[in-house]
Amino acid sequence: MQKSLQGIASYLTGAGEAANAYSLRDKSAKERALIAFARLRDASIPPERILQRVIAVSACCDAKGIDQRQREYRQVQYAKAVHRLASGTHKTTSGFPMPSKYPRSEGQVLRHMGAWLEDIESLALNGRDIGNHSQTRSGP
């Protein structure tokens, strides 16, 4: 688990400079994925929270029967859950409110983020299947 948290921390520190949502249009998908990690860093999102989201998505996919063969779907779901944590630019100039702008969570950006997050998930779970576990419950 510690290696996966260190991996997330290294993604966050190595992501470069964060850009606001108004200036993402001319960037490549890989650059926008890195900017998303930089925005997470600037929003002070701890690596533990990111890992919690990734493991939760993995558990949901296992519960719904989405196996490892549907890898791209899982990757995109990881990225969507994490991308929401720090998206959006909220500006006001001279006292007049401007509408908030949110970066589009689109195809290739989510695939890049998801591939990186899948690496983190495999480190955290170490090949264990979190969907198959025995529970002992008391009561009806």
Q: Is the residue at 140 inside a domain?
A: no
- The average confidence (pLDDT) of the chain is 76
Tally of structural domains, the chain: 1
Torsion (CA) 91, 23, 43, 103 in degrees, nearest 10: 90
Q: Is the residue at 48 inside a domain?
A: yes
Q: Is the residue at 46 inside a domain?
A: yes
pTM passes above 0.85:
no
pLDDT, tens only, 7-18? 788 778 777 787
Q: Is the residue at 97 inside a domain?
A: no
> pLDDT-derived band of residue 135, with 50, 70 and 90 as boundaries?
very low
Q: Is the residue at 99 inside a domain?
A: no
Question: Domain span at residue 77?
Answer: 2-88+104-125
Judge whether residue 67 has pLDDT over 70. Answer: yes
Angle (deg, nearest 10), helices 47-63 and 2-13: 120
Q: Is the residue at 72 inside a domain?
A: yes
Q: Is the residue at 134 inside a domain?
A: no
> pLDDT-derived band of residue 128, with 50, 70 and 90 as boundaries?
low
Q: Is the residue at 52 inside a domain?
A: yes
pLDDT, tens only, 29-62? 888 888 888 888 888 888 899 898 988 988 888 8
